[in-house]
Amino acid sequence: METIIIDTETKQYPVYIASGALQELGPLVRKYTRCMVITDQNVRPLHLDKLLSQLPESAEQCVLTVPAGEDAKTFEVYQEALTFAVEHHLDRKSCILAFGGGAVGDLAGFVAATYMRGIAFIQIPTTILAHDSAVGGKVAINHPLGKNLVGAFYQPEFVLYDTDFLRTLPKKQLLSGFAELVKHALLSDKEFLKELQTKIPDGGHLLSPHLPDLLKKGIKVKADIVRKDEKETGVRAFLNFGHTLGHALEAHGGFGKITHGEAVMTGIVYALLISREQTGLQFDLPQFLSWIETLGYDWKIPAGAAFDEIYAYMKRDKKTIAGNIHFVLLESVGKPVLAEVDKDRLSRLFLLQQKGDLHT
Ligand SMILES: NC(=O)c1ccc[n+]([C@@H]2O[C@H](COP(=O)([O-])OP(=O)(O)OC[C@H]3O[C@@H](n4cnc5c(N)ncnc54)[C@H](O)[C@@H]3O)[C@@H](O)[C@H]2O)c1
Ligand SMILES: O=C(O)C(=O)C[C@@H](O)[C@H](O)[C@H](O)COP(=O)(O)O
Ligand SMILES: [Zn+2]
């Protein structure tokens, strides 16, 4: 089993990643007085028994099942989870175990960060996307006016990533998670991007035997950034590549209507377009678009999204300072920068991407 160490200012912890990694869980949680499991309606019937078989019998009484997807990241579900923790007598030596994708992880982490001012939390991710979300300690719920607007930086005790869980993911969720891997490659270097394109040439190969190694590479890209800047006072903002537009599309369409990864991929294409004009990025966009189309992405900005409405959401992004929206752009693959972008440019390129005529 490979271990990747996440080294932050507030905590150092391991990400254990392997096929069958779940079998290692028992001894790792023995020290807690009680474990509350938070999972969702889809993961529960598929995988909960496997998880419970690694925990003491009493754990079965302490499982909270929340709605799948973004419906888990609401004030109502957050309160429900806190009530469950109180009613099940979780104390300061208990832990909260997030068992699911990024939505479950973000919710469970925020519950753990705030219950009794913070108790231990453990990430047991089940999606490709969670190679990103389970690492680095951003935990949050959504506000109707914007994505992840209520949250904390709160690191888990460890991440136990059993890649066998990925086999039951539907294609839409494979694609959603893969978008964050593409993001990590673009932030890292050309070789990583080339490797992704070679090893995952089309949508039929998303569950390739190469995937676990590619996920490890993605985690290492993130770990390297989080090590330098845990609380996003600087370079961590680069991990938001594609997210300024992505989060706005998610919020505007109604959380959960498009997946996080679909929205991020659309945002990545937008950031690449802006970069070509603003930083002089040299990048074969038509080749990139052909690849992501073959994978199954629709990178066009949805026809129903009006620029002015999306712009209002982008203004509420957490990278906005004194009303100025900041975008993560690329000077070259592996060389991100944070920059303000002129509104006329944003609007013109938005309409171009909405029209979908970018293959030149
Ligand atoms: N904290 C961070 O750093 C960070 C990073 C990236 C994304 N995120 C957040 O993560 C969320 C998206 O993550 P996600 O796509 O993993 O979330 P998710 O929890 O919504 O999972 C996606 C869907 O897949 C289902 N699912 C999960 N595991 C499955 C499995 N093994 N088999 C079959 N179905 C399964 C879920 O029930 C859900 O319907 C967003 O809310 C996003 O904002 C957070
Ligand atoms: O870890 C980070 O930092 C990221 O930005 C990772 C993103 O993929 C993730 O979607 C994150 O939740 C976005 O953060 P936010 O601060 O813009 O809500
Ligand atoms: Zn993301």
Nearest-CA residue for ligand 1 atom 20 is 69
For ligand 2, atom 18, which residue shows the shortest CA distance?
Answer: 148
Strand ranges in 34-169 using DSSP code E only, listed in sequence order: 35-40, 63-66, 95-100, 120-125, 138-143, 146-153, 159-162
Q: Which of 60, 48, 112, 105 is nearest to 85 (CA)?
A: 112
Average pLDDT, the chain: 97
- Nearest bound ligand to CA 138? 1
With CA atoms as reference, report the closest residue to 214 among 173, 185, 257, 246: 185
Neighbouring C-alpha atoms within 13 Å toward the C-beta of 122: 23
**How far is it, in rounded angstroms, from Cα 108 to Cα 90?**
14
Atom of ligand 1 nearest to the CA of 177: 15
Confidence label for 357 from pLDDT (cuts 50, 70 and 90): confident
Q: Does 168 count as an annotated binding residue?
A: yes
Between the CA of 259 and the centroid of ligand 3 the distance, in Å, is 10
Write out the two tokens for 27.
Answer: 């001894």
Q: What is the ipTM metric for this complex?
A: 0.99
Q: Which residues contact 134 (CB under 8 A, 6 or more apart)?
A: 15, 98, 102, 105, 123, 125, 156, 159, 161
Strands 138-143 and 326-332: unpaired
- Give, in order, the Cα–Cα distances in Å from 52 to each of 27, 47, 105, 236: 14, 9, 18, 35
Chain segment 277-315, per-residue pLDDT in tens: 999 999 999 999 999 999 999 999 999 999 999 999 999
Q: 127: annotated binding-site residue?
A: yes
**Do residues 45 and 189 touch, judged by C-beta distance below 8 A?**
no
Give pLDDT, residue 232.
97
Taking the model in full, what pTM does it have? 0.98
Region 129-142: mean pLDDT is 98
Distance CA 314, CA 39 (A): 31
The CA-atom distances, in angstroms, between 17 and each of 23, 163, 186 are 12, 7, 23
From the CB of 103, is ligand 1 less than 6 Å away? yes
User: How many A from CA of 267 to the centre of ligand 3?
Assistant: 11
Band the pLDDT of 359: cuts 50, 70, 90. Answer: confident
Catalogue all structural domains in the chain, each as residue range(s) with its CATH number. Answer: 1-165 (3.40.50.1970), 189-353 (1.20.1090.10)
Q: Terminus-to-terminus CA distance in the chain, angstroms?
A: 45
Residue type, 182: V
Residue 289: both structure tokens together: 């678009």
358 vs 200, which has greater pLDDT?
200
| 141-179 per-position pLDDT tens digit | 999 888 999 999 999 999 999 999 999 999 999 999 999
pLDDT average, residue stretch 117-132: 98
Question: Which among 294, 288, 295 is positioned nearest to 206, based on CA atoms?
Answer: 295
pLDDT tens-digit series, residues 54-85: 999 889 899 999 999 999 999 999 999 999 99
Ligand 1 contact, 157 CB (< 6 A): no
Mean pLDDT on 270-275: 98
Ligand 1 pocket, mutate which of 47, 106, 128, 160 (most atoms under 8 A from CB): 106
- How far does residue 104's CA lie from ligand 1's centre (Å)? 7
Structure confidence at residue 146 (pLDDT): 87
How far apart are the C-alpha atoms of 223 and 258, rounded to whole Å? 27
Residue 25 marked as a ligand binder: no
CA 10 remoteness from chain centre: 21
Q: How many helices (H) and strands (E) does the chain have?
A: 13, 11
- Can you tell me the distance from the alpha carbon of 278 to that of 294, in angstroms, rounded to the nearest whole number? 28
pLDDT cut 70: percent of the chain above it: 100
Which residues line ligand 2 at a C-beta cut-off of 6 Å? 132, 136, 138, 147-148, 180, 232, 236, 239-240, 243, 318
For the cut 80, the answer to whether the pLDDT of residue 110 exceeds it is yes
Average pLDDT over residues 204-223: 98
